[in-house]
Structure 1
């Protein structure tokens, strides 16, 4: 028996190993398949209710043309209010419901070239649109002439009347960390070159808490918008255009509207609201 013991022992070990291998293989086959597809978190709240009569007041600063940084000295005077005037604005191009907004911004006189005047109020009208009065993606009508001018590229549009476009500010089909095209348009310049402008929006990957000047904390959705300008197929200019923090049920609670070499930018934080 001693002569055959090693063989029997080896056979026993082999049998054990084989059974173990079969049993573990069987366990693997029974394991659940793990879905590694990234989960997209969609924004389901209304992050910019365009309700007539609502007003948000912001404190902040102008941003310098050359360095695109906050001009802190202007903060002593700077103030902006956004008022939603109407939900019955003229029907916008492309359909949807029009919303009229009124922007009133107070800046120091010296920033506008009037050193002897303490402050100047600059007012402008804004137009927004949604699919319906209370739902759908949000578009903002913008005049992009300042962006064209800042690139230093001569232009003379031939495919449209002027430089006014609807920019898709909020795309509810995109979740956190995802991007979308706010505007992608091409025209022919005065020199015959094809010029393409692409503005892209992207949501930050997680909520960002903003503390307003009213000492209230807002867990907000952060939007970053960038702009690329191509001339003859070659990238001529690229950079950030705006960063906006939206708080559900309120709207923008913080904004960085980037400066250009020829125009001031704006930094705004919520100061108060009437609702």
Structure 2
């Protein structure tokens, strides 16, 4: 009798164990209001440089702000003009300008690599889909994919120079982060850039870099971080206040 009971228990365990319902993973969508675009919106940050371990480097503190100052007509679009300003101790104020507009589920940005690459004869200027503003979380996309060859004059000889630059973007995760201004529900954006320069199929220079921005729905960018590399210090900026309407 005991043997029959054991056999039945094993049978039912097998039946019910093999009939477990399959769970469907939840697909999380990206909110459409990660970067409120309106003239007059402004975000304030405190920042500092970081080492390769992500640790703050003492004496590198600065304050910065991001302000939407206007809207213009430029290259067939009506982008917002965003001013990034940085104020370091005992240094002049540094200013960067960004042009952005929202279209088709992406926040587009005007990118100009001409001066960044710094190679005579190289030009690259265009609108690129910078931050994904709709769709699903953790779906990488291409921001820029450049593969071009230009001819340069090197010591009196014309040399073909191949330049490759690839930038991918991704809203990688949804998380809570603690900042000087408080705790924020945020979506972490990651941009990965890789590039190389080669002559005759031989690579003479290459680089890889990452940048992160945390966006809070209805608020905007609440944290920025560029990790340090073996040759350059990293930068971290964290929200201290904002005015968004």
TM norm structure 1: 0.67
Contact 1:156–1:188, Cα closer than 8 Å, also in 2: no
CA distance 1:140–1:255, change in 2 (3 Å): same
Judging changes above 3 Å, is the alpha-carbon distance between structure 1 residues 52 and 207 closer, same or farther for their aligned structure 2 residues? same
Q: Partners in 1 of 2:224 and 2:56 — Cα distance?
A: 12
Which sections of structure 2, spanning at least 5 residues, go unmatched?
A: 1-10, 153-158
2:57 is the alignment partner of 1:79:
no
Task: Within 5 Å, give how 1:24-35 maps onto structure 2.
Answer: none
Distance (whole Å) between structure 2 residues aligned to residue 251 and residue 266 of structure 1: 19
Indicate the RMSD between aligned Cα atoms, in angstroms.
Answer: 3.7
Alignment length (residue pairs): 224
Give the secondary-structure state (helix, strand or coil) at the position aligned to 1:177.
Answer: coil
Counterpart in 2 of 1:169?
130
What is the Cα deviation at residue 79 of structure 1? 0.5
Query: Which residue of structure 2 aligns with residue 212 of structure 1?
Result: 179
In 1, the alpha carbon distance for the partners of 2:227 and 2:115 equals: 12
Q: Give the equivalent residue in structure 2 for 1:193.
A: 161
1:11-90 superposed matches below 5 A: 39-63=26-50, 70-75=56-61, 78-86=62-70, 88-90=71-73
Question: Residue 155 of structure 1: CA displacement?
Answer: 5.6
SS at 1:193 equivalent: strand
Match in the other structure for 1:156? 121
Shift of 1:264: 6.2
Unaligned runs of 5+ in 1: 1-19, 109-117
Shift of 1:258: 4.6
Superposition deviation, residue 221 in structure 1 = 0.4
Q: Displacement of 1:99 after TM fit?
A: 0.5
Look at both structures and tell me which one has the larger radius of gyration over its CA atoms.
1
Deviations 1:48-107 (A, max 9, x none): 01111011000011357x9987433111xx000111112x311444x4x31011121101
Q: Which has the higher helix share?
A: 1
CA deviation map 1:114-149 (0-9, x unaligned): xxxx23211232211222xxx741022234357536
Local SS of the residue matching 2:59: helix
- Alignment partner for residue 190 of structure 2, among 224, 237, 241? 224
Cα distance in 2 between the residues matched to 1:202 and 1:220: 14
